[in-house]
Chain A
Amino acid sequence: MTENYHVFSDGRLERHNDTVRLVTEDDEKKYLPVENAEAVFLHGQIDFNTRLVSFLNDHGVAVHIFGWNDYYAGSVMPERGQTSGRTVTEQVRAYDDPEHRRQLARKFIRASIHNMRANVSYYDNRDHDFGSVITRLDTQQERLEPGLEINELMGVEATARRAYYSTFDDILPDGFVFGGREYNPPKNEVNSLISFGNSLVYANVVSAIRATALDPAISFLHEPGDRRYSLSLDIADIFKPLLADRVIFRLVNRQQVDMGDFEERLNGCLLTESGREAYLKEFEQMLDQTVEHPRLNRKVSYQHLLRVEVYKLKKHLLTGEEYAPFERWW
């Protein structure tokens, strides 16, 4: 269970000979080794039936559906193999205890700011002067006092992220104008890259949560809602700078994505299919990248870091062991 598969073609996805087969509209047949699949991302127009869904369910493979123009449209999650009433109970208890909830929310934000800062200081050392941004991030970090309410914590996070985003216009080459975060729909190229990247981080965290008994809808920083897997939003925030944003810098600075990879649609700016494919290839490479883990004492992939993160949180909730969220250490 290691690889994500991305289906861009239109066609039909089916169970065939105990594995998964894609039959494209041109009747081309391609096989996905189901035993090696973590999740299938559908970007094209795909038909599938209940037989396939049951089969993927048996193998614990999630399907993430990206609808029209690759807006994240939802996931078909396998029935959770891991079920534990105790885990969910502890999770709800932590949510319901204001002090505990704020403590977790603070940790998520501290780690997010740390990871944003890591990106900024990388470019600060390479012919950019981001000293003032780093100071602003540090100031927000210091504001994370135990007394702050959730909405105040959210405010700290938003201020830090604004400071962080202010570096994008400098880091990205001329022509790519960012000017601040806007979504629903994204108004320009950089915003559409961020939206697409963030939705991929989110979907990958959803897959990681699924491997544990944690309930993806009970969260701490974000308010649990009716629809979203809000725990995934909490955890995805920590990883966006490492995964989504660095892919943007690489692709744009190496000109693997240019203005031709976007189109204006419905008052917004969206990635074309070729742009999305270019982003995804780089993104999957990023997930496969490995780093020496000081506590596990072995090399782990970035994708595995997502798993580790969910396990740590679960352990904290069950045993009270302190939760130290992922902060880039290299």
Chain B
Amino acid sequence: MAYLIVVYDVEADRTSKFLKYLRQYLVHVQNSVFEGELTAGQAVDVENTLEEMLEPGESVMVYQMAGESYVERSVYGEDPMDDQQFL
């Protein structure tokens, strides 16, 4: 398993492309920030696809942990990950 935090900085008119793609895998926690747990294989797919989507001057950062239990996460205010499984 892998716990991912993905942060992207791309041209304004291209953010929706990244938003749309990442929503298939992770949870949208803030503007241009996604996080969530994936299998190691999925994490590789996501990183490769993101790299291919980039244009000059844009960047994506991926922070990867071995699993959710390795993240010490403090949230102040509302947490979009709260009860994510319950809609």
> Which of A3-11, A67-75, A314-322 is near enough to bind chain B?
A3-11
Q: Which residue on A lies nearest to B21, using beta carbons? A: A18
How far apart are the CA atoms of A110 and B18 in the complex, in Å?
52
How far apart are the CA atoms of A277 and B26 in the complex, in Å?
23
Total A-B residue pairs with C-beta atoms closer than 8 Å?
Answer: 52
Contact B24 A7 (CB under 8 A): no
- Select which of A6, A35, A280 is within 8 A of B25 by beta carbon: A35
How far apart are the CA atoms of A3 and B42 in the complex, in Å?
14
The yes or no answer to B55 lying at the interface (CB within 8 A) is: no
Q: Across the interface, which residues of B come within 8 angstroms of A2, CB to CB? A: 1, 37, 39
Known interface pairs A2-B37, A17-B20, A18-B20; A280-B28 also in contact (CB < 8 Å): no
- In terms of DSSP, what is the predominant structure of the interface of chain A? mixed
> Which of A26-34, A156-164, A218-226 is near enough to bind chain B?
A26-34
Instruction: Give B5 Cβ to nearest chain A Cβ, in Å.
Output: 14
How far apart are the CA atoms of A30 and B86 in the complex, in Å?
10
| B contact residues, total (Cβ < 8 Å) | 18
Instruction: Give B35 Cβ to nearest chain A Cβ, in Å.
Output: 11
Contact A31 B23 (CB under 8 A): yes
| A contact residues, total (Cβ < 8 Å) | 24
Q: Which residues of A contact B (CB under 8 A)?
A: 1-9, 17-19, 22, 30-36, 277, 280-281, 284
Q: Across the interface, which residues of B come within 8 angstroms of A8, CB to CB? A: 86-87
Q: Which residue on A lies nearest to B24, using beta carbons? A: A19
How far apart are the CA atoms of A4 and B24 in the complex, in Å?
15
Q: Across the interface, which residues of B come within 8 angstroms of A32, CB to CB? A: 87
The yes or no answer to B38 lying at the interface (CB within 8 A) is: yes
How far apart are the CA atoms of A31 and B83 in the complex, in Å?
13
Q: Chain B CB within 10 Å — which of A4, A19, A35 has the most? A: A35
Q: Across the interface, which residues of A come within 8 angstroms of B23, CB to CB? A: 17, 19, 31, 33
How far apart are the CA atoms of A169 and B27 in the complex, in Å?
42
Contact B28 A36 (CB under 8 A): no
Contact A7 B37 (CB under 8 A): no
Known interface pairs A31-B23, A36-B38; A3-B85 also in contact (CB < 8 Å): yes
Instruction: Give B18 Cβ to nearest chain A Cβ, in Å.
Output: 12
Instruction: Give A313 Cβ to nearest chain B Cβ, in Å.
Output: 24
Contact A4 B26 (CB under 8 A): no
B33-52 vs A, CB cutoff 8 Å, 1 = contact: the mask equals 00011110010000000000
Contact B26 A36 (CB under 8 A): yes
Q: Across the interface, which residues of A come within 8 angstroms of B36, CB to CB? A: 33, 36
Contact A280 B20 (CB under 8 A): no
Known interface pairs A35-B42, A36-B37, A36-B38; A18-B24 also in contact (CB < 8 Å): yes
Q: Which residue on B lies nearest to A13, using beta carbons? A: B87
Contact A5 B37 (CB under 8 A): no
In the A-B complex, list the 6 residue pairs whose CB atoms are closest, starting with the nearest: A17-B20, A19-B24, A35-B25, A7-B87, A19-B23, A31-B23
How far apart are the CA atoms of A5 and B85 in the complex, in Å?
5
- Select which of B39, B42, B87 is within 8 A of A9 by beta carbon: B87
